Every structure is written in C-alpha cells, then in structure tokens.
Amino acid sequence: MKYNKFKKNDKSDYNLVFIYEDKLSGISKSIDCSTALKDIKEAVSKKLLCGKLGSMETFVSTMYDSNYFLIGLGKKNELTIQKFEKQLSSTIKKINKYNIDKVAIDLNNISINNYNTLKGTIIEFEKSKYSFRKENINHLKECSIKVPSNITKRTFDNTKVISIAVAHGLNTARKLGDTPPNICNPTFLANESKKLEKLHKSLKVEILDEKQMKILKMGSLLSVSQGSLQPAKLVIIKYMPIKNKQPIVLVGKGITFDTGGISLKPSSSMDEMKYDMSGAGSVVGTMQACAEMNLKNNVIGILACAENMPSGIATRPGDVVESMSGISIEILNTDAEGRLVLCDALTFSKKYKPKYILDMATLTGACLVGLGKYPSGLFSNDSTLTQKIKKSADVTGDRVWELPLYSDYFDELKSNFADIQNIGGQYGGAITAAAFLANFTKDEKWAHLDIAGTAWESGKNKGSTGRPVKLLTDFVMTNK
C-alpha cells in the first residue's frame, strides 16, 4: 500500500471527509480541497447529513464526478483517538466492498494531535490489508493523505515508516494468534522468531529447550508443559542497537493452547484458548516493529511458551514445584498456568538488568469479567512506570485501566505446603494473579498487562486484535 502527502491540485475520485454533528455548518473547512463544496453545503442545509458517530454518508458530486464518504465523528470536543480509529476502520471495511483502489483522506478537521492522527490513519489502512485467509485481501492500493500544514514532508515520511512498522508488527501478532493450535505450538513460535531473525540483522534470537530450562531450575514453567507432547520453549529476541544501555524487557505468555490441564476447562468456546499465546504474539510483533523502524532503544522480548494439556503425566492440583527464583509453589489449580510460566520467565529476565519489565498475558477470565473487552488490565509496582504506560495507552487508543495491588491480595496466596499457592480466593481473580507475579519482580520496575479481554474478538468477527502492539511500540519509542 502506498501513502502520499496530498498536494494542492491533486484530485481523487474517492474522498474521505470527517464531519461532526455539532459542526455541520463548518463543513466548508473540511472540504476546501474539493470542488464539490456547493453541493455538500446544499445537502447540509437540506439536513441530508447528520455527522453522528458511526454514520457514513456517501455523496456524489455529479458536476465533478467525485465521490465523498462523509464520516460522522459525533461531537467535536468528545472525539478520542480510539473513536477516530474505530470509525476509520469500519469506513475502510465498507469502501473495500466497492473495489476502490485509490482514496484521498482529509485529516485537517480532526481535533486530536496531528501526528497521532496521521499515525493512526496509516495503521488502520495497513490493518485492513490483513486477512488470515489470502482470498479475502482487499483492493485498495493507494491513499493520498491531506494533513495540516504543520506536518512537514519530513515528518510525514518519518511517520509513514513508523506507522507501517507498527502495523506490520500488529498484523504479525494477529497472524500468530489466529494460527490454529495444531500448527502454532511452542516450537512454531520459536521457529517464527528464528525466521524474523533471518529477515532483520538487528534481531538476535536464542531458544532454550526443556533440558536447558531444567538446568536453570525453571520447575514452575516446566510443570505446565509436563502433560503435553509439545515441549516448552523459552524464546529470547534481542534488539540491542545501543551499547551500554539498559534494555526494556517485554515478557509474553505463550500458552499455545490452554485446556486447563487436569483442572479441565468446560468445552464451550475452548477453541478460543488458541489465543492464550497472544501475549507472546504481541511481543514478537513489537520486536519486529522495533527492527523495521530502526528504533534507537534497547528492547528484549521473552516468550514463555508451553501447551497446557491433561494427561497421565500432567501436574495434579496439590503438586508443589520449585520456581527458578527458589520460591516454591503449590499448584491448586492447573488452569492457573499462565502465572506459572511467567514467573520463571520474569526471574530469567533479571539477568538483562532491565530498566523496566512489562509482561503481557491473557491471564484471567476475571479481568474480562471486571473490565470488559475495551481496556487491558494494568498492574504495576512503580507509579512512574504506570504513568508512562497510561500515556502510551492514551495516545495510541490502546486503552488500559489500572487495578490495585494492596497487600491484602498477597495474603490470599499463602499456602500451608509451599511458599505460595497459584490461586487466591473466589474474588478479584485478575488481581490475585497479578499479585502472584509481583512476588517475582520485587526488585525491578515491573508492570503487568492482563489482555484476556482485549487480545481477540469472539463471535462472528472472531480473530486476534494484535493488542497491545500499538501501546508497546509507543512505550519503547517514548522511553529511551
């Protein structure tokens, strides 16, 4: 897909223009590039246009043979980047039905930071190029973007490179998530990471097998793969272009299928547990984006990959294992496996002396119940880090919501038979899961994102969302 900065006398057959329900009379400003102004003004006066959020009115200027898609954004001062991207995404889906190959889009009228709007626009167009099945690929090939005058050619070109890199990373995360679990197993994730290393000289990939993890005493991680024929893998993807600089470490939960193990899950929608590796997928996507945009920061991605299966040699509820940190764990529920792989990956990550550790995990159904599908749950032991993550969430629309880590939650993890147990009480499951992880990151600045509600969509649009790649890429770009 090609993106050009719209030039003065460019003309396009198809134009996307944004309108606001409370600023319809100001419409002339948003279409000053066009010659169909008079016709559109007339439509406004006849109340043919509403501008309500989610609306899209098509409008043909017969005189000039141009088509306008007037996209409603609701009230001007209530616009957010997330609303903007959502409207743009559904508009692109609609126009794809017309087999159009070139459009022009006018961003002058968007009341959000220009740079973020431009970035979001390119990402949405690139996202629309993703389809798990090749036959669904759309027509669109070119997009001409009209930007406010304070965006120079240089800024435009830089933003373009960054946005395309982010979108490619996002689409990689989606592809990995959508890949069926008979193909996407821990070895597959390791191999895909190796492929990425081949494509980008700046990435170095190391893979630890079960034997090596045993030597490192990762008894907790290994307990999860114990019942599966698929061996666990710990994948390390290094992007370290800068000498003597502490890296940001990103750790991803990579459960390629979560049956629950002996604490077996109910069968309905169990297929969706192929998405239980989405945390790892988002880390791979982010590492790819770092390399593609030639980021000037050090980042290390760690994927904790295993398959959670019941079998005659699987762990039982009541088993006690020893983690790499030395903390012993009583496994009371084999379905709380994400924290078991993550705790060893977190301990392992300390050897890189990280500036920050962020882990991403489809960790708990409780997070989905509590927060719904819109924000990821955010937990941290450092308030500055929390602020930084919230900032990245705000500018990218990849939303988060913070939940507390009071010491009371930690008390729920006390065990009579080991240092801690892997589940808390009946309530606040997303928080007790995060508290479990916090036990392993006491000396570092750490944050955990529970992406159980945000990593994929269910129902007729079932598919990976690629979240939180946008948040993570912004975070590594802005915290150098």
Residues in the chain: 480
Instruction: Write the secondary structure of 246-258 as one string of H (helix), E (strand) and C (coil).
Output: CCEEEEEEEEEEE
362 binds ligand BES (CB under 6 A): yes
One of 241, 317, 365, 463 touching ligand BES (CB under 6 A): 365
Quote the least distance from Cβ 308 to Zn ion, whole Å: 7
- The active-site residue out of 76, 265, 390, 391 is 265
One of 144, 315, 364, 380 touching ligand BES (CB under 6 A): 364
Give the type of residue at 383: S
User: Collapsing DSSP states into helix, strand and coil, what is residue 211?
Assistant: helix
Q: Please give the backbone phi and psi of residue 316, each rounded to the nearest 5 degrees, phi first.
A: -105, 155
Q: Please give the backbone phi and psi of residue 5, each rounded to the nearest 5 degrees, phi first.
A: -80, 125
| Number of residues this chain uses to bind ligand BES (CB under 6 A) | 15
- For residue 157, what are its two tokens? 């070109």
Q: Among this protein's residues, is 339 annotated catalytic?
A: yes
How far apart, in whole angstroms, are the C-alpha atoms of residue 22 and residue 75? Answer: 6
Beta-carbon contacts of 383 under 8 Å, excluding residues fewer than 6 positions away, are: none
Quote the least distance from Cβ 361 to Zn ion, whole Å: 8
Phi-psi label, residue 206: left if phi above 0, alpha if psi -120 to 50, beta otherwise:
beta
Closer to ligand BES by CB, 73 or 306: give it. Answer: 306
Closer to ligand BES by CB, 301 or 429: give it. Answer: 429
Q: Among this protein's residues, is 265 annotated catalytic?
A: yes
Closer to ligand BES by CB, 31 or 366: give it. Answer: 366
Q: How many CB atoms lie within 10 A of CB 415?
A: 14
Strands (E), 293-352: 299-308, 320-322, 328-330
Q: Please give the backbone phi and psi of residue 409, each rounded to the nearest 5 degrees, phi first.
A: -65, -35
Closer to Mn ion by CB, 224 or 289: give it. Answer: 224
Nearest 10 degrees: Cα torsion 454, 468, 389, 421: 60
Quote the least distance from Cβ 316 to Mn ion, whole Å: 15
335 binds Mn ion (CB under 5 A): yes
Quote the least distance from Cβ 249 to Mn ion, whole Å: 24
Quote the least distance from Cβ 442 to ligand BES, whole Å: 22
How far apart, in whole angstroms, are the C-alpha atoms of residue 284 and residue 288? Answer: 6
Which candidate, 390, 389, 438, places its Cα nearest to that of 248? 389
User: Judged by CB under 5 A, which stretch of 140-148, 249-257, 368-376, 420-428 contacts Zn ion?
Assistant: 249-257
Closer to ligand BES by CB, 258 or 444: give it. Answer: 258
307 binds Zn ion (CB under 5 A): no
333 binds ligand BES (CB under 6 A): yes
Identify residues 22-61 at the interface with Mn ion (CB under 5 A). none
Quote the least distance from Cβ 454 to ligand BES, whole Å: 10
DSSP state of 266: P
* Footprint on this chain of ligand BES (rule: CB under 6 A): 258, 276, 333, 335-338, 362, 364-366, 368, 423, 429, 452
* Footprint on this chain of Zn ion (rule: CB under 5 A): 255, 258, 276, 338
Which residue numbers are catalytic? Answer: 265, 339
* Footprint on this chain of Mn ion (rule: CB under 5 A): 258, 335, 337
